[in-house]
């Protein structure tokens, strides 16, 4: 049977502010581990988040550049889940009332123009970073919380892409926009621009979407394409055998090794969201 791939992308762009989204700690990359932290980004009891106004300005720029509607009112929410590099036990993000909605980007692939819908753009904080020891017999992991509370914009597309080439064209167009706006340095190697790819297959001619798999945290255009192509082959083999494709998140590992299954951070029964309150601090015309 012939199948049509359906692809939606969730892109995380790290913002070029001088300080974090909810505190005054530096966002400088490469500092000594755990040297750029405070009670807010460490999640100490009683510490109150104060919103960096420059993050809001950057989010509005991104929304206008991607043809989104800018919400007059947006609300932060707590996304509750356990992960070793998330000290608070929840992530401050946006859920039902994001700052930008209903945008689009036009891409060109093989001489054909296509419009890719953007569901939403929302502001959120990044988690910390786990450093896995690479020594024989040592399976310890170290936690660096310098990245915790670093400001992110998450750009969520509609599942409008129908080939890996369309996905890459969309990512490159979005990358070009955020770098041109000066809101993201676009450094893929440092993780400033990375994406989760949601991939599913359906029979050609069908309008019923298949079960999707989520490929997590990929920060290379080449690896994104390889991971999508592998996932298409994997799902086609399962469907040809008459079994349903299981929903699973997967880490991105460059081919020839396949993407490895991993634990999901979101959309599980153990994950819940609730609204949270933040305060806003003013900033000058330079990034806060």
Give CA–CA dist 263/241, Å, rounded: 26
Asked if the structure places residue 11 within a domain, the reply is yes
Put residue 273 in one of left, alpha, beta given phi > 0 → left and psi -120 to 50 → alpha. beta
Asked if the structure places residue 288 within a domain, the reply is no
- pLDDT tens digit sequence for 89-120: 999 999 999 999 999 999 999 999 999 999 99
What pLDDT was estimated at residue 279?
A: 52
What pLDDT was estimated at residue 267?
A: 42
- pLDDT tens digit sequence for 192-235: 999 999 999 999 988 888 899 999 999 999 999 999 999 999 99
Nearest to 18 by CA among 9, 26, 29, 10: 26
Asked if the structure places residue 287 within a domain, the reply is no
Domains held by the chain: number: 1
What pLDDT was estimated at residue 170?
A: 98
Asked if the structure places residue 286 within a domain, the reply is no
Asked if the structure places residue 41 within a domain, the reply is yes
Asked if the structure places residue 8 within a domain, the reply is yes
Asked if the structure places residue 114 within a domain, the reply is yes
Asked if the structure places residue 271 within a domain, the reply is yes
Lookup: tokens for 3: 């199948």
What pLDDT was estimated at residue 286?
A: 42
What pLDDT was estimated at residue 246?
A: 53
Range of the domain at 146: 3-281
Q: Hey, which residues does 100 pair with through a beta bridge? A: 70, 121
The residues of the chain scoring below 70 in pLDDT are 135, 243-287
Yes or no: say if 147 and 126 are a contact pair by the CB < 8 Å rule: yes
């Amino acid at each position: 049977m012939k199948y049509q791939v359906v692809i939606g992308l969730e892109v995380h762009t790290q913002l070029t502010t001088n300080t974090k989204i909810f505190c005054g700690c530096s966002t400088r990359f490469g500092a000594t581990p755990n040297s750029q932290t405070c009670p807010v980004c460490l999640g100490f009891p009683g510490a109150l988040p104060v919103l960096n106004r420059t993050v809001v300005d950057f989010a509005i720029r991104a929304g206008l550049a991607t043809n989104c509607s800018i919400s007059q009112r947006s609300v932060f929410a707590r996304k509750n889940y356990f992960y070793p590099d998330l000290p608070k036990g929840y992530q401050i993000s946006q859920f039902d009332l994001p700052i930008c909605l209903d945008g689009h980007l036009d891409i060109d692939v093989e001489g054909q123009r296509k419009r890719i819908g953007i569901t939403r753009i929302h502001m959120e904080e990044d988690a910390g970073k786990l450093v896995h020891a690479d020594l024989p017999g040592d399976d310890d992991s170290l936690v660096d919380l310098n990245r915790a509370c670093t400001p992110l914009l998450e750009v969520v597309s509609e599942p409008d892409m129908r080939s890996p080439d369309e996905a890459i064209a969309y990512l490159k167009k979005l990358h070009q926009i955020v770098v041109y706006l000066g809101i993201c340095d676009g450094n893929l190697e440092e993780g400033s621009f990375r994406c989760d790819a949601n991939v599913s297959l359906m029979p050609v001619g069908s309008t019923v979407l298949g079960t999707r798999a989520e490929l997590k945290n990929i920060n290379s255009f080449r690896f994104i394409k390889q991971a999508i192509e592998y996932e298409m082959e994997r799902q086609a083999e399962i469907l040809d055998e008459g079994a349903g494709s299981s929903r699973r998140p997967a880490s991105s590992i460059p081919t020839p090794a396949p993407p490895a299954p991993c634990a999901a951070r979101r959309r599980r029964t153990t994950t819940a969201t609730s609204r949270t309150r933040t305060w806003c601090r003013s900033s000058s015309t330079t990034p806060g």
